[in-house]
């Protein structure tokens, strides 16, 4: 068990997200940085899609009320376990009574705490993710608050194999160490309404840098930059949207839809951020910049394949941690 | 019959678009395709919109070219779904605190509040699709005389169960949220329960009737 002693403002239980229910208006939810979630999970012997805590804002503090194998992935929150620095991407044994503290994020925006066995909040509509808008899933359908107790699922391997393992870690994908004073390159496939925008808008979209505004949240990342103008009125009938879609409302400032985005929308779609780049976008800090880089679906799939290969290598290396897995 | 346009939406989705003017016939055809596409391998989600359909698939397992061909073929061969959805009555308390904008709709339309209730309850509406939030129905069939522009200042919180008119549309908010529609009534019916299967009361294709359980004038 884990007890929340001090909660940051936006911390919630998230797994890989919810699918198969979009036709009923039910959004995807799930970790914004799926790569960090997956790695943290694998480091403790979990399947990559298991439920973890997504931390967005510190500082926060939690206490382990039983022994657990833990790992942190994602942003650097200057974490400590009983006052001793706890590295990211490290699998360690936390003991009953120990305190994990996360300070303000030093680099990146979101950190994931995985525990061996995963957090076993109720499976609702196929996922343990918190749907913050509709208020269900995860821990009581809401962000974590002081005093909450989260229970940990059962291990699918003998406890001893997990608990006796020494501390170890992996190297994270290089973008976690990127210099965030430089614009972050984000690959985009032009969207269905790309040709409705003016030539000047096209030029600005690819060549200018875009700043992530603090009005951004888990539903959408709002960007500020030059106004993107549309050639003619483009009244679209409502249609399905998904995370990564870049909508341009009439004011001309793009919004990148993220995991909690509504299922349908009506604004013109100038592009779609490729799946492989959503994780790094999730770590962009407010008021930092990004630059869009054009690519196509073949390159997008190749990028996803490469990321998956890296995850598979970690999973293969973790096999000794869960030898009984069938 | 007009040919639909199929467009890629990133590397993991396709949109089938039937054109710019919404028709019930197109929508019925899309429901039939949605039912088929749900069975195709590597398809994760199918989202009917207003006269369009989006399918989301696993980009590493599916062949998008093949999916596009299947979508096109499904459009060419799908019969207009003659099967009508379930009939669902929605009890509504109109006016008073339950419908704070009934007066405003009366002012805009020039109809008496009682006449608005009469017309709003006279129609059988069709759920074209569900979007915006879990269980929120986009209904076709509002009496054109009842069309009223959205409020100039959206409410910060529209209570769950509110029945409203936004332009030429009408609908029900399943959950409390910000919103700009003119609220004419309130229903106590629960439209979304994550523990039920299916989790939403309404589904695309269902036929809905509003029934006045009380009118406060």
pLDDT digits (tens, 9 = 90+) for A92-143: 999 999 999 999 888 899 999 999 999 999 999 999 999 999 999 999 999 9
CB contacts < 8 A, A to B, total 145
Minimal Cβ distance to B134: which of A19, A25, A305: A25
Instruction: Tell whether B106 and B200 lie within a shared domain.
Output: yes
Is the pLDDT at A156 greater than 70? The verdict is: no
In a domain, B197, yes or no: yes
In a domain, B82, yes or no: no
Contact between A238 and B56 using a beta-carbon 8 Å cutoff: no
Contact between A20 and B34 using a beta-carbon 8 Å cutoff: no
Residue B205 to residue B166: CA distance in whole angstroms: 21
Minimal Cα–Cα distance from A98 to chain B, Å?
A: 35
Q: Are A139 and A94 in contact (CB under 8 A)?
A: no
Residue A326 to residue A156: CA distance in whole angstroms: 10
pLDDT score, position B22: 76
In chain A, what residues touch B175 (CB-CB under 8 Å)? 133-135
In chain A, what residues touch B130 (CB-CB under 8 Å)? 23-25, 263
Contact between B11 and A124 using a beta-carbon 8 Å cutoff: no
Residue of A nearest to B48 (CA): A23
pLDDT score, position B89: 97
Residue A115 to residue A170: CA distance in whole angstroms: 16
In a domain, B147, yes or no: yes
In a domain, B37, yes or no: yes
Q: How large a percentage of chain A has pLDDT more than 70?
A: 95
Instruction: Tell whether B67 and B153 lie within a shared domain.
Output: no
Which of B52, B77, B102 finishes a domain? B77
**Partner A contacted by B56 (CB < 8 A):** yes
pLDDT in tens, chain B (217 residues): 578 999 999 999 999 999 867 788 899 999 999 999 999 999 999 999 999 999 999 999 999 999 999 999 999 998 776 667 899 999 999 999 999 999 999 999 999 999 999 999 999 999 999 998 999 999 999 999 999 999 988 898 999 999 999 998 899 999 998 889 999 999 999 999 999 989 999 999 999 999 999 999 8
Contact between A23 and B56 using a beta-carbon 8 Å cutoff: no
3-state secondary structure A129-196: CCECCCCECCCCCCCCCCCCEECECCCCCCHHHHHCCCCEECCCCHHHHCCCCCCEEEEEEECCCHHH
pLDDT, tens only, B116-163 = 999 999 999 999 999 989 999 999 999 999 999 999 888 989 999 999
Contact between A242 and B56 using a beta-carbon 8 Å cutoff: yes
Which of B25, B44, B77 finishes a domain? B77
In chain A, what residues touch B15 (CB-CB under 8 Å)? 192, 239-240
Residue of A nearest to B45 (CA): A20
Which of B46, B77, B108 finishes a domain? B77
Domains of chain A plus CATH, in order, are 2-173 (no CATH), 184-295 (2.40.100.10)
Minimal Cα–Cα distance from B184 to chain A, Å?
A: 23
Instruction: Tell whether B209 and B112 lie within a shared domain.
Output: yes
Number of folded domains in chain B? 2
Instruction: Tell whether B52 and B118 lie within a shared domain.
Output: no
Q: Are B128 and B48 in contact (CB under 8 A)?
A: yes
Is the pLDDT at A325 greater than 70? The verdict is: no
Instruction: Tell whether B104 and B53 lie within a shared domain.
Output: no
What are B45's strand-pairing partners? Answer: B56
pLDDT score, position A157: 64
pLDDT, tens only, A28-60 = 999 999 999 999 999 999 999 999 999 998 899
CB contact residues (below 8 A), chain B span 102-161, against chain A: 129-136, 138
Instruction: Tell whether B19 and B57 lie within a shared domain.
Output: yes
Minimal Cβ distance to A238: which of B45, B50, B198: B50
In a domain, B111, yes or no: yes
Instruction: Tell whether B103 and B47 lie within a shared domain.
Output: no
CB contact residues (below 8 A), chain B span 2-31, against chain A: 7-13, 15, 17, 20, 22
Instruction: Tell whether B33 and B128 lie within a shared domain.
Output: no
Burial of residue B183 (number of CB atoms within 10 Å: 0-12, 13-18, 19+): buried
Q: Which of A6-10, A44-48, A103-107, A243-247 has the highest mean pLDDT?
A: A243-247
Instruction: Tell whether B17 and B47 lie within a shared domain.
Output: yes
Q: How large a percentage of chain B has pLDDT more than 70?
A: 98
Is the pLDDT at A285 greater than 60? The verdict is: yes
Q: How large a percentage of chain A has pLDDT more than 90?
A: 83
In chain A, what residues touch B205 (CB-CB under 8 Å)? none
Instruction: Tell whether B185 and B101 lie within a shared domain.
Output: yes
CATH number of the domain that residue B212 is part of: 2.40.100.10
Residue of A nearest to B195 (CA): A124
CATH number of the domain that residue B43 is part of: 3.30.1360.40
Closest of A73, A62, A143 to residue A108, by C-alpha: A73
Instruction: Tell whether B99 and B67 lie within a shared domain.
Output: no
pLDDT, tens only, A160-210 = 666 777 889 999 898 898 888 899 999 999 999 999 999 999 999 999 999
Contact between A133 and B20 using a beta-carbon 8 Å cutoff: no
Residue range of the domain that includes B21: 5-77
Phi, psi of A317 (to 5 degrees): -65, -25
Instruction: Tell whether B140 and B69 lie within a shared domain.
Output: no
pLDDT score, position A166: 85
């Amino acid at each position: 068990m884990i007890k929340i002693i001090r909660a940051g403002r936006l911390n919630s239980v998230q797994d890989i997200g919810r699918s198969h229910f979009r036709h009923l208006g039910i959004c995807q939810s799930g970790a914004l940085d799926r790569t960090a979630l997956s790695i943290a999970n694998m480091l403790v012997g979990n399947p990559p899609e298991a439920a973890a805590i997504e931390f967005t804002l510190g500082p926060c503090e939690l206490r382990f009320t039983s022994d657990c194998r833990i790992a942190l992935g994602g942003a650097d929150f200057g974490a400590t376990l009983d006052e001793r620095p706890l590295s990211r991407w490290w699998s360690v044994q936390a003991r009953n009574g120990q305190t994990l503290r996360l300070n303000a994020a030093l680099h990146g925006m979101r950190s994931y705490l995985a525990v061996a066995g995963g957090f076993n909040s109720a499976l609702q509509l196929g996922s343990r993710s918190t749907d913050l808008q509709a208020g269900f899933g995860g821990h009581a359908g809401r962000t974590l608050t002081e005093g909450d107790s989260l229970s940990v699922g059962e291990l699918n391997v003998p406890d001893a194999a997990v608990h006796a393992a020494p501390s170890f870690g992996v190297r994270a994908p290089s973008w976690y160490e990127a210099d965030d004073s430089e614009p972050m390159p984000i690959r985009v496939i032009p969207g269905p309404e790309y040709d409705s925008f003016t030539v000047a808008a096209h030029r600005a979209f690819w060549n200018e840098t875009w700043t992530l505004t603090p009005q951004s949240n888990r539903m959408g990342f709002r960007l500020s930059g030059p106004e993107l103008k549309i050639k003619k009125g483009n009244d679209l009938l409502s249609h399905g949207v998904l995370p990564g879609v870049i909508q341009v409302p009439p004011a001309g400032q793009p919004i990148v839809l993220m995991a909690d985005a509504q299922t349908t929308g009506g604004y013109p779609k100038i592009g779609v951020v490729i799946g492989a780049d959503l994780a790094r976008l999730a770590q962009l800090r407010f008021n930092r910049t990004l630059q869009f880089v054009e690519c196509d679906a073949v390159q997008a799939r190749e990028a996803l394949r490469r990321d998956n290969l890296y995850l598979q290598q970690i999973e293969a290396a973790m096999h000794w941690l869960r030898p009984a897995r069938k | 019959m007009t040919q639909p346009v199929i467009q890629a939406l990133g590397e993991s989705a396709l949109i089938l678009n039937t054109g710019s003017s919404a028709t019930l016939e197109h929508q019925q055809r899309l429901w039939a395709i949605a039912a088929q596409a749900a069975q195709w391998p590597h398809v994760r989600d199918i989202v009917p919109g207003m006269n369009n359909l989006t399918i989301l698939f696993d980009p590493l397992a599916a062949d998008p070219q093949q999916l596009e061909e299947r979508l096109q073929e499904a459009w060419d061969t799908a019969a207009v779904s003659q099967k009508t959805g379930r009939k669902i009555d929605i009890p509504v308390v109109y006016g008073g605190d339950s419908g704070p904008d009934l007066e405003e709709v009366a002012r805009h339309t020039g109809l008496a509040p009682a006449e608005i209730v009469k017309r709003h309850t006279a129609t059988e509406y069709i759920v074209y699709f569900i979007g915006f939030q879990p269980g929120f129905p986009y209904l076709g069939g509002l009496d054109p005389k009842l069309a009223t522009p959205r409020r100039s200042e959206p409410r910060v919180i529209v209570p769950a169960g509110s029945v409203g008119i936004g332009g030429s549309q009408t609908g029900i908010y399943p959950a409390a949220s910000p919103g700009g529609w003119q609220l004419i009534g309130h229903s106590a019916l629960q439209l979304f329960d994550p523990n039920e299967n299916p989790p939403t009361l309404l589904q695309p294709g269902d036929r809905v009737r509003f029934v006045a359980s009380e009118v406060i004038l």
